[in-house]
A = this chain, B = another copy of it.
Amino acid sequence: MSQHRHPGAPGRTGAVPTLPDLPEATVARLPEYLRALHALAQAGHETVSSEGLANAAGVNSAKLRKDLSHLGSYGTRGVGYDVALLIDQIESVLGLTQCRSVALVGVGNLGHALAGYDGFASRGFRIAALFDADRARIGEEINGLVVQHVDELPRVAAEESISIGVIATPAPAAQAVADQLVAVGVTGILNFAPCVLSVPEGVDVRKVDLAIELQILSFHEHRKASLTALPATGGSGLTALPGGLAATDTQEAIGT
């Protein structure tokens, strides 16, 4: 809305002509479907039913069909979905047809691991540059990339268009880094620092906090322990209903 700084090639997009206005919950699951589809393709499947794909992705088949229906009708009744076609469609919707460049800021413990993680490259992301604020770390080479000072960010961003920034710094430094990323036109940030970031409108921030995930697990452990410790609470008729443990984006009890 305010700043449209398009990187270079506007061109006409050969892919999806409409803006499908997907539900966020669906968007969050599409990458999982994509991974499952790639695995199926690898295994030689040409088509897959909603049941089969849902199984591979760890979701309900009805949910999967509804999700896919939002992209259009790319299945064949009585047969299933064409694996290759569906892969193309989902990649197109997710914008993975072009390789996106990622800037990683903070090459500490976690940053190191992220820089070496090959799961990024294998899914269409290229780590374009590594930055750190610590002068002692500058010049270090990780996975073929040389760590640069974070002040170099504007220069690097001018050379190649960075579409996503990853923050793997300590929490106190994260806000300043976010500001710098925004300043060079980055509108998508993946934040591993345990803190809240303030960004202007139009910039997306996704947060991954490893300790939070553990604490959520801890809650469920705590609750399960309490349940087993209370054999007969005086209350209601239903005691331990088996299906009641499922969590929101937690897979549970997918029996063999």
Contacts and interface: CB of A to CB of B under 8 A. Distances in A.
A245 B125 CA distance: 23
A28 B205 contact: no
A201 B252 contact: yes
A209 B120 CA distance: 10
A113 interface: yes
A210 B208 contact: yes
A223 interface: yes
A146 interface: no
Contacts of A109: 112-113, 116-117
A34 interface: yes
A108 to B, nearest CB: 9
Given A227-B19, A229-B6, A204 B117 contact: no
A228 B30 contact: no
Report the interface size class on chain A: 35 or more
A199 interface: yes
10 contacts: A35-B195, A109-B112, A122-B211, A125-B211, A163-B218, A164-B214, A200-B255, A201-B253, A206-B213, A207-B250
Given A35-B195, A36-B196, A164-B214, 11 more contacts: A1-B240, A27-B247, A28-B212, A30-B219, A32-B209, A95-B218, A102-B214, A110-B113, A124-B218, A199-B254, A201-B253
9 pairs of A and B residues whose beta carbons are closest in the complex: A95-B222, A113-B113, A201-B253, A58-B196, A31-B215, A188-B217, A4-B228, A31-B212, A24-B248
Interface of A: 1, 4, 6, 10, 13, 19, 21-22, 24-25, 27-28, 30-32, 34-36, 56-58, 93-96, 100, 102, 109-110, 112-114, 116-117, 119-120, 122-125, 163-164, 187-190, 194-230, 240, 242, 244-245, 247-256
